[in-house]
A and B are shown apart, each in its own frame.
Chain A
């Protein structure tokens, strides 16, 4: 498996988000030298193809950008620009997608190229698909910015591809912000705040609606993992993290003889993305990689360090640089699992406590209260 990107690793393409920020600043006549001050990024770098920056540099850049931008709408403006100017190698594949579902699948597979700071989990409910959003690469210090950015790119993208406004409801993991007006404008009015995690719910019918551009093409999907995908869907509501259990499965899919299948033109569209991902030195950030492993099995810090082939002290330090602690990641993955279990009617507190390796139900309740401020019953069917 590939190394996990840490705070100082150069893994973020500066042609995309960074170039957009600099462009917006220039357009509004703001000082782009002040914007880049202290980041170690130079204006000339942004024009270089394949120039990469580290999460540390990005974080510094955002500190500057948010303090210099005169109003609270930077993330929303950038989100509107995502499809035309920040989707990079994914653009062609996105326009070829048959519906939002296959688009989502494609995006999920390659989003490391454009939004490496995101990690998503999905869950199929009765009427809706739920998507949980976590942040990677230590970007949780700009949590609100990144959530606004990702969601406004989602809604703008849907608007353009569907030809109508995006519909769905969103829960935000923070209290109602000062720029609530923008939330109403871009995300609609079905919003809730102070949630334990960022959750996006979309109706199944919306996800299956054919996209405008795909109707021009032969209606084939770009999801070359089609068989595996439907298999997953048919499973009775089991834990379905989107991530593949092993990164190697991705490579296996790349090596499959695909050209011979019916999916001809769409595959060549996705080829760019595939090659770019193969050429990339990383595929997950440290936090995302650890979360993935924790979803399978709860491990202690030394066990995890051994698995990642570094010393426990190094792991601790690397997480510390990103403003994270190992315990935080363990809690988060347990919370996600708990919420999944709570959505299933046949599970009760005892069985959930058991599967999350708590000693008893009251212990589980206490921890849950600590994570969310509410008792588990409050979030029963949160993901239903």
Chain B
């Protein structure tokens, strides 16, 4: 999406609308007589004026958020034409226009044409959105809530993850959790600059979401800590996945600590379902974080100890089961 192209489009849309707003009344002023103040139906003026202003607002929203392309052009053309129709409608409340035959045609056409074009645009938008939705599915399984998205990596944030975890817990299905934390990210940030650190995080997020299966969910937990929910996972899969991730991160020029847990599905009593799941989720997250802190502690002094830590990892499994 080119910013200069966008601002050019913006300028032309506003230029044209300003032109129409000033030229047409001027033309009418020249050629016809205005109604007297008493003859003007002020209620009509208000409602038609409101329609016109609303239309302009929609136009602004579309222009400001949509990436450029065919769909956007159609939407803009349709909406501007509709706005023009509204505006001309508004003018005939003030001027007596019946005397100009061409104007009558000119007044009636923009609204229906605009709405037709808008409909075409909307239909194409629908096609576009289905493609986008398919793309999004590789990132998130569930409906998208834009408040719960992390601005930097475009992954879900910790709050959203908790929400998904609670949902998963109340479904009584097997799942696995993997948490990873980049080693010495603090130093990386200091040596390479914060911009570079941010780039690493977003690249890592992209890589993680493409590596995982469709039904898995990766979230940015906090800072350089990520958390992954593996649905329907069996123990070997989770450990292999954890190992794979740990190795894969080497390609980004850094290393990471990875811990995982495989909570057993529990049958929860129905009444206390929601509250129970919430509690369970909080304990699980705390447990994972604890595990992570421990591993971080062992890893930092020497690499040899890190290995000892890794071998301890399967204990996670037994403890939870």
Interface residues, chain A, with chain B CB atoms under 8 Å away: 27-28, 70-71, 73, 76, 80, 84, 156, 159-160, 163-165, 167, 178-182, 184-186, 188-189
A178 near B190 with CB under 8 A, answer: no
Interface residues, chain B, with chain A CB atoms under 8 Å away: 150-152, 157-159, 181, 186-187, 189-190, 194-195, 198, 221-223, 225, 285-286, 289-290, 293, 296-297, 300-301
Residue of B nearest to A152 (CB): B223
A71 near B151 with CB under 8 A, answer: yes
Which 4 A-B pairs give the minimum distances between C-beta atoms? A181-B158, A185-B222, A184-B289, A181-B222
B293 near A27 with CB under 8 A, answer: no
A80 near B189 with CB under 8 A, answer: yes
Show 22 A/B contacts (Cβ-Cβ < 8 Å), sorted by A. Answer: A28-B152, A71-B150, A73-B223, A76-B222, A159-B186, A160-B186, A164-B297, A164-B301, A167-B297, A180-B158, A181-B158, A181-B222, A182-B222, A184-B222, A184-B286, A184-B289, A185-B181, A185-B221, A185-B225, A186-B223, A189-B286, A189-B293
B289 near A185 with CB under 8 A, answer: yes
Residue of B nearest to A84 (CB): B190
Taking a contact as CB atoms closer than 8 A, the residue among A27, A182, A188 that contacts B195 in the complex is: A27
Contact residues of B: prevailing secondary structure: helix
Shortest Cβ gap from B222 to chain A (Å): 4
Contacting residues, chain A, for B187 (C-beta < 8 A): 160
Given A27-B195, A163-B300, A165-B297, A71–B157 Cβ distance below 8 Å? yes
CA distance A80 to B190 in the complex (A): 10
Contacting residues, chain A, for B296 (C-beta < 8 A): 165
Shortest Cβ gap from A179 to chain B (Å): 7
Taking a contact as CB atoms closer than 8 A, the residue among A159, A167, A181 that contacts B221 in the complex is: A181
Residue of A nearest to B289 (CB): A184
Shortest Cβ gap from A126 to chain B (Å): 23
CA distance A181 to B181 in the complex (A): 13
Residue of B nearest to A162 (CB): B300
CA distance A379 to B57 in the complex (A): 60
Contacting residues, chain B, for A167 (C-beta < 8 A): 297
Contacting residues, chain B, for A182 (C-beta < 8 A): 158, 222-223
Shortest Cβ gap from A178 to chain B (Å): 7
Taking a contact as CB atoms closer than 8 A, the residue among A28, A84, A184 that contacts B285 in the complex is: A184
Residue of A nearest to B187 (CB): A160
For the A-B complex with A70-B151, A164-B300, A185-B289 known, give 9 more contacts whose Cβ atoms are closer than 8 Å. A28-B151, A159-B186, A181-B285, A182-B158, A184-B285, A184-B286, A186-B223, A189-B290, A189-B293
B221 near A80 with CB under 8 A, answer: no
Shortest Cβ gap from A137 to chain B (Å): 28
Contacting residues, chain A, for B225 (C-beta < 8 A): 181, 185
A165, A167, A185, A188: residue with the most chain B Cβ atoms closer than 10 Å = A185
Contacting residues, chain B, for A163 (C-beta < 8 A): 300
Residue of A nearest to B181 (CB): A185
Contacting residues, chain A, for B301 (C-beta < 8 A): 164
Shortest Cβ gap from A256 to chain B (Å): 36
CA distance A336 to B205 in the complex (A): 46
A156 near B186 with CB under 8 A, answer: yes
Residue of B nearest to A191 (CB): B286
Contacting residues, chain B, for A165 (C-beta < 8 A): 293, 296-297, 300
Contacting residues, chain B, for A185 (C-beta < 8 A): 181, 221-223, 225, 289
